[in-house]
Amino acid sequence: MIHKKYVELVNEQQKLIKRKNHINTEFYNGVYDRYQYPILTRHHVPIHWRFDLDETTNPHFMERLGINATFNAGAIYLEGKYYLVVRTEGVDRKSFFALAVSENGIDNFEFIDTPIVWDNPYEEETNIYDMRLVQHEDGWIYGIYCSESKDPEASEFDTSSAIAQAGLVRTKDLKVWERMPNIETPSPQQRNVVLHPEFINGKYAFYTRPQDGFISTGKGGGIAFGVCDDITNPVIQEEVIMDEKVYHTVYEVKNGQGPAPIKTDKGWIHIAHGVRNTAAGLRYVLYTFATSLAAPEKIIAKPGGHFIAPYDDERVGDVSNVIFCNGVIVNEENKVFIYYASSDTRMHVATTTIDKLVDYTFNTPEDQLCSIENAKQRKSLIERNLRLLGK
């Protein structure tokens, strides 16, 4: 017999899922719209994913497999629907991938089916997270995620040192997934690997982030570019840094590619994350840059400062002061849906258009990397505006 509490919880959850999400009118920058509510939280995860519904085995209707957070989702647009592959973290700290879908990309997101699983030959893999989804021109949908395992060279009593590698899977329908070999690069550790959606000179192209340690990039760091001949044997022989970390910027500690770049008439638009250090810890924000259509590793435009940063309630969570994005969708109307997580806790969406994104990326001034020069930049803007105002 199903416990009577189940119906009550499902009814309450449906109110949350069906809630309309409106533009947050208290925020305006002309670049993108933020929304009033997160699109996914731990409260959206289905009741039957968390509770044993059988009254005989769970008489007190206790949550048996709790959920801690829903964040860092890959995104893809298929047959007019908006799909997210969500990093869903249990209270056991293990992450798994779960599929959520919406008809409009802004609200009514609902988890479907069951958690995504596949046959995994990597027995040492302990945790998986932060999948980037790419519809490649070869006809497959690829997912690249962070594959975490315990550092085999750690000392006997060191139970926290880890190794990050780039796990690779592919699917045709988001239902059946094939595990492929990990992506190999010259770097000892690897995060934030993203597949370019098109062939480059007949090769598969990747954006990587070389790093020496699990958290610290060491002598590595920056967004790199590399290619391989065969996706079934994904070995990248050389990583060339295309976007370096820079002192006293929003990406001074480390940076990494977010989702796959967006193709526009003027160039590939990239959404990346940048990290800087503060007295309160690391602060993650998003920034953009553009690369050449002919050479996607060559930067041709880069606005100064951050694109999206933690705002109001987004600042607080499991890992506070963090914005992270590994999913973006462009629909047939050229509307852009940027799916970002706040503070490793919940998912949000921001919307803009291709035209606005291109305008922002190509016409926003670059960081002059010096306070006085940046002040001169602002002074020039103010003086032009005062002339327009007749002052």
Q: Are 4 and 10 in contact (CB under 8 A)?
A: no
Rounded CA separation 94/98 (Å): 13
Question: Average pLDDT of the chain?
Answer: 96
CA dist., res. 42 & res. 67, Å (int) = 6
pLDDT band at 86 (very low <50, low <70, confident <90, very high): very high
Q: Exposed e or buried b for every residue in 207-243, given b needs 16+ CB within 10 A?
A: bbbbbeeeeebeebbbbbbbbbeebeebebeebebbb
Does residue 4 sit in helix, strand or coil? helix
- Return the SS3 of 124: coil
Would you give the DSSP letter of residue 153? T
CA distance 116 to 247: 40
Cα angle 340, 190, 196; round to 5: 60
pLDDT in tens, 129-138: 999 999 999 9
pLDDT of 242 over the 80 cut: yes
Is residue 215's pLDDT more than 70? no
Provide, rounded to the nearest whole percent, the portion of the chain with pLDDT above 90: 96
Section 32-56 average pLDDT: 97
pLDDT confidence tier of residue 290, bands split at 50, 70 and 90: very high
Q: What pLDDT does 116 receive?
A: 98
DSSP 8-state secondary structure symbol assigned to residue 154: S
**How much is the pTM?**
0.97
Q: pLDDT band at residue 172, thresholds of 50, 70 and 90?
A: very high
Report the pLDDT value the prediction gives residue 48, as an integer from 0 to 100: 97
Q: How many CB atoms lie within 10 A of CB 251?
A: 24
Q: What is the pLDDT of residue 220?
A: 75
Residue appearing with tokens 């959850």: 13
Instruction: Please list, in sequence order, all residues whose beta carbon lies within 8 angstroms of the beta carbon of residue 321, skipping any fewer than 6 positions away.
Output: 278, 280, 281, 282, 283, 284, 310, 315, 343
pLDDT digits (tens, 9 = 90+) for 142-160: 999 999 999 999 998 999 9
Q: Does position 205 have pLDDT exceeding 70, yes or no?
A: yes
Report the pLDDT value the prediction gives residue 211, as an integer from 0 to 100. 87
